Structure 1
């Protein structure tokens, strides 16, 4: 076994273990799962969630979309497939509408079956513009005359959390593939260190969102476990492609990347950020923590 292959296998094991470690912190620590604590406890949880929202926003705008656009434009140029139609953006839009349509189908089916668990909208208010959302129950807001809503932590949709997990997992496969396809050990180490730091923050944020979605602990553990395997799986695929000298299906990979980017846009802008910004209290502090999460990821992108 040559040194390059050893470095890749080491990167594979390191990514797996570190992702599991950071992913299981929110999933296993009771403090993160307790939504009936004190006001201070709920505020801290909300601020952590806002930080996670900033992380996902940065991952969307500074990582997933730029990587996808760079890859697909390179593939289109290499295959001399030039057109005035914005195909890369269209593929992202297809991913966006795919999640939108699937979610509406799920909600419609649950409505027809009489179940209300998934019917809490992202922004909900009564005729006077005031309301507290607790699960799927709307109660009058007698505390303020402003237009706002009170959103319970359990209002996170398990379906949207699953889509968030799915899009991040698919992106992780491509991150691992980037390591597996490298032909120098220095480049493998450089990319691996960047992904280790990046993915540790991402998986922690993902775990926080899953815990807040009222998903059963066993399913949260399964999500984190599967997510942790994705980058190593990408590395393994890259190693196989290099060792067997197979021609990679670059265009298919780019299309999948584009669909994943579109789903991530939907979840970031229609689930994560609205949930936090439409919850009452500490508004400026919430924005500050969203900016902080974004700044951390931006700094890692700049350094990496």
Structure 2
């Protein structure tokens, strides 16, 4: 239990400090984040498929004669897919953002569709939409990262063995700094007041510890519920790895070979840890 509380503290300070540094700094290192994401994608994929899911299936097999853990993992995957790609996407692609893109690409010709606006008013509208769009991005990002953070924390909280806690905790910490940095950069590029930016960074940093505590409470109540939660979190780990980290990094043309090697190293590292257990 003490190791889980230690990870609560470490993860909080990792996200909070890196987020604050990113807000106040002009330093950029996208390549380092890309390499970290590539390594984490393999790590997270192996955590979900090789580590968490088999353990959840073993737990639930004692209660139900059906591979229910795999089905619940699919539901966990689908839940995050629905929230991020349907709910969040609808917010991102609101009429104002579409209108902004049309205005920027068509310029003066789009003003014809705005009956009561002259060219000056159209330019003001573009600036206003840009302002609102820039302010919206960090909140959407913090919500997405926060959702992941809670599920990742729960996965750590329900672990039973010290070796499981250590392996999963270290793998999460290897990725948390990039989340904090990305969130800080998103707020830095927005027009939000710095005090509010820092408050959101602190709030986001607290979500992993909250997830860990929730997981610990679940683990102490019921083995059956623990198996269900493990299955859901396995699905979320697979989702994060496959549809976000892998797709995002390998759609970029730079250094794909190096990133693929790091991706394989992440898989091998977690597979080796599971083998040692």
Same fold (TM over 0.5): yes
Task: Note the alpha carbon deviations across 1:172-231, whole angstroms, 9 max, x for none.
Answer: 22422335xxxxxxx65x555445433432322432443455584432321112213432
State the distance in 2 between where 1:284 and 1:107 align.
Answer: 31
Q: Which residue of 1 aligns with 2:174?
A: 201
- Measured at CA, do residues 222 and 207 of structure 1 come closer, stay the same or move farther in structure 2, by a change above 3 Å? same
State the distance in 1 between where 2:211 and 2:3 align.
Answer: 13
Q: Which residue of 2 aligns with 1:222?
A: 203
Say yes or no: does 1:101 pair with 2:101.
no
What is the SS of the residue equivalent to 2:9?
helix
Moved over 6 A (4+): none
Determine which structure has greater relative contact order: mean sequence separation of CA pairs < 8 Å that are 6+ residues apart, divided by chain length: 2
- Measured at CA, do residues 178 and 108 of structure 1 come closer, stay the same or move farther in structure 2, by a change above 3 Å? closer
Assess if the C-alpha contact under 8 Å between 1:163 and 1:267 holds in 2.
no
State the distance in 1 between where 2:261 and 2:153 align.
Answer: 28
**Runs of 5+ in structure 2 lacking a partner?**
102-136, 189-196
Q: Which residue of 1 aligns with 2:147?
A: 166
**Runs of 5+ in structure 1 lacking a partner?**
1-7, 120-155, 180-186, 242-247
State the distance in 1 between where 2:268 and 2:242 align.
Answer: 18
Task: Note the alpha carbon deviations across 1:242-292, whole angstroms, 9 max, x for none.
Answer: xxxxxx433333333333333333332222222222224333333344445
Assess if the C-alpha contact under 8 Å between 2:38 and 2:245 holds in 1.
yes
Normalised TM-score (structure 1): 0.60
- Measured at CA, do residues 112 and 160 of structure 1 come closer, stay the same or move farther in structure 2, by a change above 3 Å? closer
1:19 paired residue among 11, 21, 32: 11
Higher helix proportion (structure 1 or 2): 2
2:258 paired residue among 268, 278, 285: 285
State the distance in 1 between where 2:202 and 2:52 align.
Answer: 29
- Measured at CA, do residues 230 and 26 of structure 1 come closer, stay the same or move farther in structure 2, by a change above 3 Å? same
What is the SS of the residue equivalent to 2:65?
coil
State the distance in 2 between where 1:299 and 1:223 align.
Answer: 31
Assess if the C-alpha contact under 8 Å between 2:60 and 2:228 holds in 1.
no
- Measured at CA, do residues 160 and 54 of structure 1 come closer, stay the same or move farther in structure 2, by a change above 3 Å? farther
Q: Which residue of 2 aligns with 1:87?
A: 68
Q: Which residue of 2 aligns with 1:270?
A: 243
TM-align CA RMSD: 3.8
- Measured at CA, do residues 22 and 111 of structure 1 come closer, stay the same or move farther in structure 2, by a change above 3 Å? closer
Shift of 1:170: 2.2
1:55-204 matches, cutoff 5 A = 55-59=40-44, 61-79=45-63, 81-83=64-66, 86-102=67-83, 103-115=85-97, 159=140, 162-179=143-160, 188=162, 190-204=163-177
Q: Which residue of 2 aligns with 1:257?
A: 230
- Measured at CA, do residues 236 and 299 of structure 1 come closer, stay the same or move farther in structure 2, by a change above 3 Å? same
1:34-49 matches, cutoff 5 A = 34=26, 41=28, 44-49=29-34
Assess if the C-alpha contact under 8 Å between 1:163 and 1:263 holds in 2.
no
What is the SS of the residue equivalent to 2:97?
coil
State the distance in 1 between where 2:208 and 2:69 align.
Answer: 26
